[in-house]
Structure 1
């Protein structure tokens, strides 16, 4: 028979006999404590209560109280605590610890305030409990009471309050506490204390004062790997990857062996400097790799435009049974959104569900963003509505997703719901709102939203917001107001402002304003081909061939290369890329045959090519021919040839803005062929259905 079975039998016997002697209760309670059996201890206490018997033994009560708190029976502990005839500081501290661990900070505060006598353990327990629960202001208040009460802080006190300052990013208060540590260091033995100094380094790093963090680091006594890691990661966090790697080499020279935390920072530093091959070589050379290191590699590949490497590494990670975390999944979802890889994105989503992190706010927000960027706005909306927790980033993802996919009225409705649920909008929220107003031509409403940025929400309008207003006015044909926005801006116009003015000038065929915008863009970014090409296109559309020739000559003199326009489409986990009039695709013959058949059928339905879009001074027949084989048309023909009867939408991506002829062609195909076509260009999503486009022909 086990000890716990014997205890249960003894307590059962006690219940059958009735009240027992004090010594019997005491002996059995001590047996429960020694056996760590809170269940039988509670039964004994209930039996004692039944017979109105309470032993007058503070030591026994404290042992029993400790048993209840240690086993998580906080309610039982408090019941005992309330009945205790004598409470000492140990009793109070036990209850403080119980409420700190259980996260009941209201009770923690109540017990702390009710204490008659407090020692350093009392203060430290309260401080660590409040900090662990994010109640850092409360923790600092306790620290203030500790100093006023004349209780000497220990290293645990200082670690706790410095962590509170770190969480609050309160550098001023943190430096005050650092000063107190220095003043009392000689008598307290805290000079160079590893734990306190690590907390100081963490404070200064998080508050961006890396030089002060290094000053503390250089004065530490008996540095360990945690100390080195704090400083190395501090450099990385503040974008000083060179110093991060220098300190890593210094660490090795001192004979301190790096751990996995060190190596994840080192990998991150390589990626931050763009040294992808060095990071890969280091990762492959590691004998041991944890999930953090794998995630660092995946994120690093993603940030350095090595998306394919990120996806392949994720597959390898899973094959080695390394569990991805929410950061890994969020990063991969973002990769799938950027590449518009629908099938793989859904695989990652399934993996998030499988490992139980699909409800994590970062993961679910990334998924909303991904489905929006895949053009699957209904799926994005459904996912958003089922999110158990949302933050402002989640609301922004959905608002912008609606605006990008032609659901502009839904974006405005969602914003009003966001305010109803007491979420405070930020600058990104208003970019989505103003974009929606621009698509709908809601000038008055756009003005009100713009004014509310500062007047209602206390934010400062950014250049992004001014660009949205220029776009709103320009797309609605109010070019004077668009130009006036630039004149009254408090900040100097940047590339975005001039690019937006150039874009709306193109829409309104306002060559004079376009020339002003292009001239400024030539100065801000001389090697960017886009303004040269756009202005040249406007000259060509107006028949100003001499100006077209001058612009091309200028580009040649400045050695400016125009980026090739291309489209791509995913089919069975394979990406197919197309360039206008290109015949290098393995299925080129079938693609052109299908496209020619498609063009003929659309012409029979009333489609005519827009030869005015041809930007060369050539004959009419050659102009028409040159627009027939644009990259997005080739991608469309490929998709229809591969799956002619599919009910699934056709998804095409293009690296530049879709031309008006292809836009018109897609509308005809969507109606005649009864297919849903989703085209994502550099501007926004175009959902073509039944002869209409979600952009209302205004992009």
Structure 2
């Protein structure tokens, strides 16, 4: 501030003399240039033009051009450049630099082409500007033109050229530049060494990159970051971690880029807790680091940790971006946490990213996963533009929530708007046909994948069609479809066949599907349990006992089933026969009251679904105290008169007994119950379910 004031006083003093030499004005112009004071420079320029400036020398206007370009004063630079009767290569380069710095590529191209003379700086400026604006191919053409016209590249030119080769993954050209660097004796230049390391890493030559890295004498943070990033991108997280430890031992402090890369390495390696420790111990954290950590938690089943970390991020006044919100809102969707999702939505609005396509589609998915399709539809209609991801989120949301006809109508509207569906679209469309029992429509949509949209149906599409055919009583067609697939049947296909066989009580095809599943994954308990249920439903108790014995002999463990509810912004988890909750006594009292009341109306628990070899009383207790029933009782204790729907989440498929139980409860209490299992949403209203008893 003091320097600017002194400069202002010096100029006023010069003016007060009435007449001064051109040299005096030149000295003050240089002072303006050093101080980056554009306004005072313009004052001096105007005065000189009126009284002293003779347009014979380019030194002063060139200095002004550089100052205007550096300060982003494009109009001033253009005016001065156009008025200059005499221009040298420095004048042209200064104007070229102004266009490059402001990203005006068309102007840069036009000026570069009409330059009457060029030097190495001209080429370097053009190459750097084109590279910075994401035009590596054009930048490479300029570099090759520079070499053809006999100009020697500077080390700055070579840095830009190597960056261009990295973007284009052009190893051949990069190696030629490497050879020139060696011949020129610039091999010890840290910037060029870093660029070469980056080039070889991005071109998949990670060993060559490491060879260069190990021979560098003045490694800086960028050097370490490039090598760590190279290992991460080539799928070698363990080497990332090892190199990071070497960096720490060298005494060099990691920066935000280091931290972001190393967190990614720890998450790739499944070292979630270690990643958390590294994150907490390092202060060099920008929004990329925070987002990486939140995303890592989200992708590794630590949704609650991700939400807590998001709160810490906001408390630290770190501004989240669209990727942060996408991860956070996805966590809310997985937890079906409507309250947290609404909070995240509000924050997205606050930061002005709610209309971003990525955030909008994630919000639509979140509201659908929370069973609130009306809010999702409201958001969908507000979007100024939509891509296929947004349409998929809304179509899939309708299909998952039992609004099958709405899903199909929206798909037809999508086609009317000439938007091309993708593989995910057809999974949702075929799922809607399954729940609506629309065999002919489902077959037509399945056929259209290849016939109309020129795509090859994938295994998910075949699984949907197999389920739809089997459910409709066309088991032979379902089997023929499996035989005619261009793929080898996987666990998804056989699980689908087993599921539809269980629904139809088809022992023959159930056994065939289960046998294939046993071979694919002998330790998966699901097929054993489902086949046992088929046997139990047919009264084949000896076969049930055989399945139990087989599970015991092969040490197959049932998948841990649990349910959870969100009440007053807190998540409460339950497992079957859970006695750990603080309100256990009240929960069981309420659940027993409900069971007794339902028994009076004709409901009796289906003990045939219990696989354990125990007495009827134990079977009764086992089936009565499933996790979703405990969660329901807890909700009714806490919210006995609430007008909002009861929301229950379960990590596996809801059993038949609990499904019937929920229908009875919805009828006797008049409450809307939303139960999301691993398959679909079940909306229980007045004794009926949106899935129409098919799930």
**TM-score, structure 1 normalization:** 0.83
Q: Deviation at 1:559?
A: 1.0
Cα distance change of structure 1 residues 463 and 189 upon mapping to structure 2, 3 Å threshold: farther
Distance 1:552 1:274 in 2: 34
Distance 2:622 2:604 in 1: 10
- Correspondence for 2:689: 693
- Correspondence for 2:629: 633
RMSD of aligned residue pairs (Cα, Å): 4.3
Q: Deviation at 1:646?
A: 1.4
CA-to-aligned-CA distance 1:103-154 (integer Å, 9 cap, x gap):
3333333333333433333333233323322333333333343344333334
Q: How does 1:529-678 map to 2 (within 5 A)?
A: 529-582=525-578, 584-599=580-595, 608-609=603-604, 611=606, 614=609, 627-678=623-674
Match of 1:520 among 516, 521, 527: 516
Consecutive unaligned residues in structure 1, runs of 5 or more: 14-20
- Correspondence for 2:331: 335
**TM-score, structure 2 normalization:** 0.84
Distance 1:646 1:344 in 2: 19
Distance 1:105 1:422 in 2: 34
Cα distance change of structure 1 residues 37 and 589 upon mapping to structure 2, 3 Å threshold: closer
Secondary structure in structure 2 of the residue aligned to 1:91 = helix
Q: How does 1:259-408 map to 2 (within 5 A)?
A: 259-286=255-282, 291-387=287-383, 392-408=388-404
Q: Deviation at 1:470?
A: 2.4
Secondary structure in structure 1 of the residue aligned to 2:559 = coil
Match of 1:505 among 486, 501, 507: 501
- Correspondence for 2:112: 112
- Correspondence for 1:16: none
Distance 1:417 1:50 in 2: 68
Q: Deviation at 1:660?
A: 3.3
Match of 1:466 among 462, 475, 499: 462
Distance 2:413 2:136 in 1: 32
CA-to-aligned-CA distance 1:410-463 (integer Å, 9 cap, x gap):
444555565677765543344334333433444555455545555666655433
Q: Which moved more, 1:62-71 or 1:677-686?
A: 62-71
Secondary structure in structure 2 of the residue aligned to 1:406 = coil
Secondary structure in structure 2 of the residue aligned to 1:375 = coil
- Correspondence for 2:69: 69
Distance 1:513 1:265 in 2: 50
Secondary structure in structure 2 of the residue aligned to 1:134 = coil
Q: How does 1:6-155 map to 2 (within 5 A)?
A: 38=38, 55=55, 58-155=58-155
Distance 2:363 2:68 in 1: 44
Cα distance change of structure 1 residues 222 and 653 upon mapping to structure 2, 3 Å threshold: same
- 8 Å Cα contact 2:126-2:142 kept in structure 1: yes
Consecutive unaligned residues in structure 2, runs of 5 or more: none
- Correspondence for 1:17: none
Secondary structure in structure 1 of the residue aligned to 2:648 = strand
- Correspondence for 1:188: 184
Distance 1:423 1:188 in 2: 55
Distance 2:103 2:444 in 1: 44
Cα distance change of structure 1 residues 70 and 593 upon mapping to structure 2, 3 Å threshold: same
- Correspondence for 1:243: 239
CA-to-aligned-CA distance 1:65-98 (integer Å, 9 cap, x gap):
3343333232443354445434433333333333
Cα distance change of structure 1 residues 24 and 177 upon mapping to structure 2, 3 Å threshold: same
- Correspondence for 1:489: 485
Q: Deviation at 1:525?
A: 0.8
Q: How does 1:156-175 map to 2 (within 5 A)?
A: 156-167=156-167, 170-171=168-169, 174-175=170-171
